[in-house]
Amino acid sequence: MKSIVAIVLAAGEGTRMKSRLPKVLHQVCGKPMIEYLIDRLKELNIDRKIVIIGYKGSLVKEALGKRVDYIWQKEQLGTGHALAQYREDLTKFKGDLLVLSGDTPLLTTQTLKGLIETHREKDALATILTAILKPPTGYGRVIRHGDGTIRKIVEEEDATIIELANEEVNAGTYCFKKEAIFQALEKIKPENVQEEYYLTDAIEVLTKKGHKVSAYTTDESDEIIGINSRKDLALANRIMREHILDRLMLNGVTIVDPLTTTIDQEVEIDRDTVIYPFTIIEGKSRIGKDCIIGPAVQIRDSRVANKVEIKNSSIQNSIIESEARIGPYAHLRPKSRIGKRAKIGNFVEIKKSSIGRESKVAHMSYIGDATLGDEINIGAGTITCNYDGFKKYPTTISDGVFVGSNTNFIAPVKIGRGAVIGAGSTITEDVPPYALAIARGRQRNIKDWAKKRSQKRKRNTK
């Protein structure tokens, strides 16, 4: 949009969050809440985006990077004071200001567009976003004249009993003509319970002078929710999660029980994949088509190809190729790669390793810092001993190797193509291709030893 600058107010500490983080960096479905607003502004094609920062502002800058410009509010004296910090930078600008609170991540592009269009169509000096809330607790009330025109906004702490009964609330999102709002900000005073300069007081300054102030009321009251506490954060997560699951189901994903399924905003899932209960998919994970995920699966920042089946397992920052089978009770730690039609089974942990096509690690094994080729069978209880207390070492197992149960590979070690490792072996040296490696103590049977022990015990008990 042309001739408009967006300003996001994000300087406050958010004391009710009781957190070391700035409030706007708390996550809603996998993203800092302020990032949702930046995404909406990008969708509106607003080129100039300003974030007003204060409390631990360097963390906000680190999170948003160069996507926006920044203005510091060194003292947090209220929303009106925050906006006033930007006046000098707008000396040459002639247009509208879209002002948003950084703690309203549920706002939609459609609503913001409606607010801007209403502001311009009515040629108002100010336009406020409102909603009808039942109950309206926690929000400033929008007070209108008898003819329906806007009179003022009053914060809940300063409202009378009659004003508190009003169910139309201020969403904390505005569109202003630049000159009008800065002139109004010069007139406001911190005469309220918080002793702060309220941006909302500028509305009454304008209306008292007879200027036109309009409103755009959204029918979706949930989207104006501002996050001021951990309880608000949980509510926003629930609402956002419902939207995400609805979108996925409309796009052809089966979610068996939405009430027990959590999927982050940036997750992508292709059609005809089935998500079973108690599944959590986080970060920027990508899930292909025709997969079966769950029950009780956690996936974070991972790529899962088509026709993969994952049950009762945890996967972080890993890649799973098509038709692989994972679980139940497997753990894929970061930088693991599971090949096409490979099998990672019960109580298996994979760490920073590559498992080749059609290879199997089926039972109670640990594979760490290892490279496994294709069509390998790893017997139950196999361990790559990759750490000597100071440094990690690699294990390399070539195509077609058969590893017997309870084998220990003392890294660094390489196993040649087609080799066979006898069960119970501790491998400390490289094994040539197609060799049989057995590294265990020789079995010795002592004739009648158990019988003699039993007879001796009987004599001792007499």
Q: Which residues are catalytic?
A: 363
Residue type, 256: V
* C-alpha–C-alpha distance, residues 144 and 133, integer Å: 16
Say which amino acid occupies 427: I
Contacts of 170 (CB under 8 A, 6+ apart): 128, 129, 130, 139, 140, 141, 142, 153, 200
> Which amino acid appears at position 318 of this protein?
S
Strand partners, 363: 346
| Token representation of residue 16 | 């009710």
Q: String of b and e for 417-452 (b: at least 16 CB within 10 Å)?
A: eebbbbebbebeeebeeeeebebeeeeeeeeeeeee
| Gap between the Cα atoms of 379 and 369, Å rounded | 18
